[in-house]
Amino acid sequence: MASGFFAILDDIAALMDDVAVTSKIATQKTAGILGDDLAVNAEKATGFLSSREIPVLWAITKGSFINKLIILPIVFLLNWLYAPAINYVLILGGFYLAFEGVEKIIEFLFHRHKKGHEVIEEIVEEEKSSEEIEKQKVKSAITTDFILSIEIVIIALGTVLEESHPFITQILVTSLVAFIATVGVYGIVALIVRMDDAGFKLIKKSNDKGFFGKLGHILVKALPIVIKILGVVGTIALVMVAGEIFLHRIEFFHGLLPAWPDVLKKLMLGIVGGLAAVAVFTLGKGMYSLVAKK
């Protein structure tokens, strides 16, 4: 009886060891997408009032956890029923990411300066619907997280499948990587968006003197710069992740421009895919407006 009990413990220990080793490999393989995820979500989580930053970030984090809870069983089920379906879902997600990235680039490049009355109208509109704007941003962030989460989960699952691990290991490893992704990414984002608060506290505690006083000022001054950088990096990351999905998930592009480095190919495919998505969206929106008028 005792030997059977210890045998079970030994099996559990072996399983946990297997999960730990495989999770490490899977996390390493998802490091690139996690970096993009961080840049994108940090950009999405900024731009709110200081008092709303943590509530908004918590709302996005909860949404991210829910995304993982939805994605994990669906991915396992699809992988069992019809594995190619995962590919199609990722490609559609890639178009969404490309659309978001390219739309931001277009807005930046062709943004015209507003006249005085337009600015006033915009400010009044924002004041009237600040809650709606916040909800829209949170929804957009969660949607983007959903697409990125799919890729993270699929990469993690692919790592486990390569090693031909049992089903229980597949579930544990993929779930663990998904959990680490959410906690790690949004934990770092929380630290970034609260940089200025940390700076003010350092200034206050040090009476604005010495090393900590200077460090506090650096943190306060650095936050707007960091946010701007994250805005740029996040937009590029959206396009690059989309391009990576197109490059690796669409067979036609596998041998595309072999002399080109992957970075350029991803960027090109992301931009082209984004432009196509923007064109389709604009056309669809125009057609809907015409139909609605009739």
pLDDT, tens digit (0-9, with 9 covering 90-100), for 162-214: 666 677 878 888 888 888 888 888 888 888 888 888 888 889 888 888 888 88
How far apart are the C-alpha atoms of 43 and 54, rounded to whole Å? 14
Q: Is the pLDDT of residue 150 over 80?
A: yes
Q: Tell whether the model's pLDDT for residue 60 goes beyond 60.
A: yes
In a domain, 7, yes or no: no
Asked if the structure places residue 210 within a domain, the reply is yes
Cβ–Cβ < 8 Å for 104, 235: yes
Report how many domains make up the chain.
Answer: 1
**Looking at the domain assignment, is residue 12 inside a domain?**
no
Residue 275's domain comprises: 18-293
Q: Is the pTM of this model over 0.75?
A: no
Name the packing angle between helices 130-162 and 2-29 (round to 10°): 120
Within a domain: residue 2? Answer: no
pLDDT of residue 117: 47
- Domain for residue 13, yes or no? no
Question: Does 6 map to a domain?
Answer: no
In Å, how far from its chain's centre is CA 113? 30
Q: Is 143 inside any structural domain?
A: yes
The C-alpha atoms of residue 182 and residue 184 are separated, in whole angstroms, by 6
Considering the domain boundaries, does residue 1 fall inside one? no
Q: What is the DSSP letter of 252?
A: G
Give the separation between CA 199 and CA 213, rounded to whole angstroms. Answer: 8
Question: What's the mean pLDDT when you consider all of the chain?
Answer: 79
Of 38-52, 115-129, 268-282, least confident by mean pLDDT is: 115-129
